[in-house]
Structure 1
Amino acid sequence: MTVPAHVLYPPFNIVRLSHIVLSVTDLAASRAFYVDTLGLQVTDEDDKRIFLRAMEERGHHCLVLERGDAGIANELGFKVYDEEHLDKAAAHFKAQGLPVEWIDEPYQGRTFRTRDPQGIPLEFYAAMDRLPPIHQQYTLYRGVKPLRIDHFNCFSPDVRASVEFYNALGFRVTEYTDTEDGKELWAAWMHRKGGVHDIAFTNGRGPRLHHVAFWVPTPLNIIDLLDLMATTGYVSNIERGPGRHGISNAFFLYVRDPDGHRVEIYCSDYQTVDPDHEPIRWDLKDPQRQTLWGAPAPWSWFEEGSVFRGVEPRASKLNATPIVAP
């Protein structure tokens, strides 16, 4: 099939993914997981929210944990180039008939929220408070030593429609899987920042958040995290891995937080900055697309995800049998 052509001059410039807001039922338990175990750094907190950043990040936060009645996914945040592009973004979404709500968010400048056509809540801003660098304060490194937020992965009930929408915003497909007859997209990985993906879409009941991923220095950091989780009460939170994906070439581990939100720990993908970078196609029947080596994924990895705030998931338009662990 033909993947939608890159849009190299979109109506506004998205720099990269920025942050995600997750509702959690127990802030103390979530803090113990994300701070004491994974190693993210607290930049502010009160009895309602915890703001976190990773070690290489200068922005105030990449993850916001909000106390709520249930574990759900809220906004996926993106940074645009400047204030002019922020206004262009708002005008673009309005022209598409999508909601635009300007809000006041701590530590961010002018910010608006919207949704994509599938219902995923999105947040756009141009300026976030900048913090002093801490990447050489090695005494702060804990857990898996997370360096930066890397990507979002979402279940989409219509992957091709999702790809077409984000393609028009300037996201570019790096790798994809289509159906055997080549007529429909099964999954696609799309980037803005020059890695394999800032956001990915996989066929499934949705929209739902499959996972948020954090980049770490080396595979050995992932092994260290496994040892830590296995001896601090989190062994049952280890869902899949370690292993290496065929798609993206990433060395990976998937863990679940106390509310079931899935987190991927991730390293070793590749550069995709060239504007004429050609997408890589994978056969849906090739098991190495998911797992170049390592155990096959369990059913939970295909079936479970975080519901987005204010949207009812829908059945996917495609059906296929995943390759799962025995």
Structure 2
Amino acid sequence: MPVPAPNLYPPFNIVRLAYVELFVTDLIKSRTFYVDVLGLQVTHEEADRITLRAMEERGHHCIVLCEAEQPSASVLGFRLYDDPDLDKAHDWFQAQGLQVEWVERSWQGRTLRTRDPQGIPIEFYVRMDHLEPIHQKYALYRGVRPLRIDHFNCFSPNVDEAVAFYNSIGFRVTEYTEDEETKRLWAAWMHRKGGVHDMAFTNGVGPRLHHTAFWVPNPLAIIDLLDLMSTTGWLSNIERGPGRHGISNAFFLYIRDPDGHRIEIYCSDYLTVDPDLPPIKWDLKDPQRQTLWGAPAPRSWFEEGSVFAGTPVREADLKAQPIVAP
């Protein structure tokens, strides 16, 4: 199936990804990981919930950690441009036969909750409480010095279907991996904000959250994080990297939080704002696809992910095999 032509006039205007809510089993341990190790800033804290933001963000939060008996991903949040877009989104999703509801979200205005056709829970909002700028408060910088949330990647049982749906609401494909034998999509990277992606899809058992990524100042910040994690009891939480992706050209590191939720530390991708930018095609068997330097990812990277709470998963339709590290 070919990559669809970009939909330049979608039914409502999505600005960017905005936040993720994760269920964790030990909030104190998770706080240590996200605050003391990664360096995210606490914006609210209570017995069973912590909200966090990165250094350049003015919105109240980009990640919400909620204590639960079992770890899972709760929801992915996206910002819309203006209030009429919320009503347009409500009517559009309802017309597609997808359930919609208005939900109460602390520190946010009206918030619309729905699911995409594969079952990923998603929310849309326009207004979030603004906080004072802290990007020049350098005494607060620690860990990997995260600047902002950058993207989500989700396992999808049918990447062609996922791309078609997100294309219909205005996401544009920047890069994609095609299985040469079937000519079907094995993975795709789609954006709204002008980077390589706000949302990506990887072939696999799904829907599941593969990872949430945070943008950092430079590759040296990643090296500093590796030194910190390897000497403070977090060595086994380093999963993959550091390295440079072929896809996106970004410098990366993948780590796992105490419950196994995967976090990518990410920098140095490229600008994609031109609406007619042709997407870049990669072959599934190209060794430079995963890592420009040729190193393949471990099996865990292709098989493990965070389930979405209350969302059943199914096997992938496409059985093509990528290159896997021994």
- Check whether the contact 2:238–2:256 (CA below 8 A) recurs between aligned residues: yes
**Equivalent residue number for residue 204 of structure 1:** 204
SS in structure 1 opposite 2:302? helix
Matched with 1:300 is: 300
Give SS of 2:189's match: strand
Shift of 1:86: 0.7
- 1:163-182 to 2 correspondences below 5 Å: 163-181=163-181
Q: Contact 2:156/2:203 (CA < 8 Å) preserved in 1? A: yes
Aligned-residue CA RMSD (Å):
0.8
Separation (CA, whole Å) in 1 of partners of 2:89 and 2:224: 42
Q: What residue number does 1:133 align with? A: 133
Contact 2:284/2:322 (<8 A) preserved: no
2:223 aligns with 223
Deviation string, structure 1 residues 152-191 (Cα, Å, up to 9, x no partner): 0000000000000000000000000111146311110000
How far 1:295 moved relative to its partner?
Answer: 3.3
Is the 1:243–1:294 Cα contact (8 Å) retained in structure 2?
no
Structure 2 unaligned regions, length at least 5: none
Report the Cα distance in structure 1 between the residues aligned to 2:270 and 2:182, rounded to whole angstroms.
Answer: 26
Which aligned runs of 4 or more in structure 1 are off by greater than 6 angstroms?
none
Alignment partner, residue 183 of structure 1 = 183
Name the residue aligned to 1:49: 49
Q: Distance in 1 between matches of 2:324 and 2:9?
A: 40
Aligned to 2:28: 28
Kindly provide the amino acid, as one letter, of the partner of residue 157 in structure 1: P
Q: Give the corresponding residue for 1:281.
A: 281
Q: Is the 8 A contact 2:36 2:143 kept in 1?
A: yes
Whole-Å Cα distance in 2 between the matches of residues 155 and 47 of structure 1? 31
Deviation track 1:269-291 (CA, whole Å, cap 9, x = no partner) reads 00000011110000111011101
- The one-letter code sitting in structure 1 at the alignment partner of 2:65 is L
Distance 1:294-1:141 versus aligned 2 partners, 3 A rule: farther
Q: Is the 8 A contact 1:241 1:295 kept in 2?
A: no
The residue type paired with residue 113 of structure 1 is R
Secondary structure class of the residue paired with 1:154: strand
CA shift for structure 1 position 296: 1.9
What TM-score do you get using the length of structure 1 for normalisation?
Answer: 0.99
Contact 1:76 1:123 in 2 (8 A): yes
CA deviation map 1:181-236 (0-9, x unaligned): 46311110000000000000010000000000000000000000000000110000
Structure 1: distance between partners of 2:214 and 2:178: 27
Residue 60 of structure 2 is matched in structure 1 by: 60
Aligned-partner SS, 2:288: helix
Structure-2 separation of matches of 1:83 and 1:182: 42
Residue 19 of structure 1 aligns to which amino acid in structure 2?
Y
CA distance in 2, matches of 1:48, 1:112: 24
CA contact (8 A) 2:207 2:307 kept: yes
What SS class does the counterpart of residue 162 from structure 2 fall into? helix
**Superposition TM-score, scaled by structure 2 size:** 0.99
Mapping for residues 99-178 of structure 1, pairs under 5 Å: 99-178=99-178
Is contact 2:251-2:268 (8 Å) kept?
A: yes
Distance 1:74 1:287 in 2: 34
Hey, what does 1:91 align to over in structure 2? 91
Q: What is the percent sequence identity of the aligned residues?
A: 73
Question: Are the aligned partners of 1:42 and 1:51 in contact in 2 as well (CA < 8 Å)?
Answer: yes
Match of 2:69 in 1: 69
Report the secondary structure of 2:6's partner residue. coil
State the Cα deviation string for residues 81-127 of structure 1 (Å, max 9, x = none).
01100110111110111111111110000001100000000011010
Any unmatched runs of 5+ in structure 1?
none
Is the CA contact (8 Å cut-off) linking 2:288 and 2:294 kept in structure 1? no
The answer for the alignment partner of 1:6 in structure 2 is 6
